[in-house]
Amino acid sequence: MVRGFMRFVAATSVKPRALIILERPRLLSLAATILIGCLLLYAALTHGQEGQRPELSGVWSNNDVDTLTHPAWDIEGLFSCRCTAETYDLLRSLLYDPSNDSLSAEEIVAALGVHTSQTIADRLTDTGSAVGQAFDLGDDPAIQCERFGVFRTVLHSDPIEFEVHDDRILILGEDLTIDRTVYIDGRGHPLDERNSNAGHSIGWYEGQTLVVETVNVTANLIDDQLAIHNSGQARSIERYTISEDGNYLDVSLTIYDPVMLRAPLTIMRPRVLTPDRALERAPCEAISGQF
């Protein structure tokens, strides 16, 4: 019985342990090879992501009088407006459907305005609609030289400038827009930050697109002409997608607001690179004549 038990131990325990000891260097070598391979793959992916970053530095302008001859504008860009994403679908139909060839430029522009206003009206909650109807242009805080909120800053028609750093991007503008800081160092949003005009913005790259998420915004006016407002519970996603030649920037702002909106609202307004332009950052009093 004892000899049988010893033969059992020898067959099931001692020999496998010896084999494991003999194989351990080979296993360690295999593990090291796998680890090195993973590190090299991570480095390659990281390098690839760095190489894909869009070159946003510089001044970008909308389709105003000074940029209408810019080579980056196609026919759609020349008609681009501060309009909803759905309105851009209408624009493409008006431009490329042969049945609309008889429309004049003025008729197209008018149709875009009506469609955007109706799309926004359908998207508003009862609260959002009531606030908009009560709005009077005479109550625009900008008249008193109060800075815009972040959403109005994004949608503003004047040129903007990107200053790109390793850990952040500064977005500067004209008129009463606010200077923005977008953190791109991987941090999240702070849990205890108070709401402000600028909110808190973090960004990341998806190929040739800079994506920006903003939270912690104060209740404010989004657009004076469209008479839409946001609550203090709003947040947004901006997407800045650069063309292959680096001259055209597709810009979209999607606003999520459970108080003012029944569903997310996306407003778009493309820009073109205008390196010959410089921002005009005069104080509000000089613009409004309130000296």
Structure confidence at residue 240 (pLDDT): 98
Task: Work out whether strand 200-206 and strand 180-183 pair parallel, antiparallel, or are unpaired.
Answer: parallel
CA 176/CA 174 separation, integer angstroms: 6
Going by C-alpha positions, the residue among 86, 67, 118 that lies closest to residue 77 is 67
Check residues 117 and 27 and name the one with the higher pLDDT: 117
Phi, psi of 36 (to 5 degrees): -60, -40
Q: Which residue is listed with tokens 């800081």?
A: 181
Phi-psi map region of 2: left, alpha, beta (phi>0 left; psi -120 to 50 alpha): alpha
Q: Which residue is listed with tokens 């997407």?
A: 239
Residue 120 has pLDDT above 80, yes or no: yes
- Global confidence as pTM: 0.81
Residue 105 has pLDDT above 60, yes or no: yes
Per-residue pLDDT tens over the stretch 263-272: 999 999 999 9
Mean pLDDT of 228-241: 98
Confidence of residue 283 (pLDDT cuts 50, 70, 90): confident
Per-residue pLDDT tens over the stretch 139-171: 899 999 999 999 999 999 999 999 999 999 999
Going by C-alpha positions, the residue among 1, 32, 48, 278 that lies closest to residue 158 is 278
Check residues 197 and 5 and name the one with the higher pLDDT: 197
Per-residue pLDDT tens over the stretch 30-58: 555 555 454 444 443 443 345 568 899 99
Structure confidence at residue 31 (pLDDT): 53
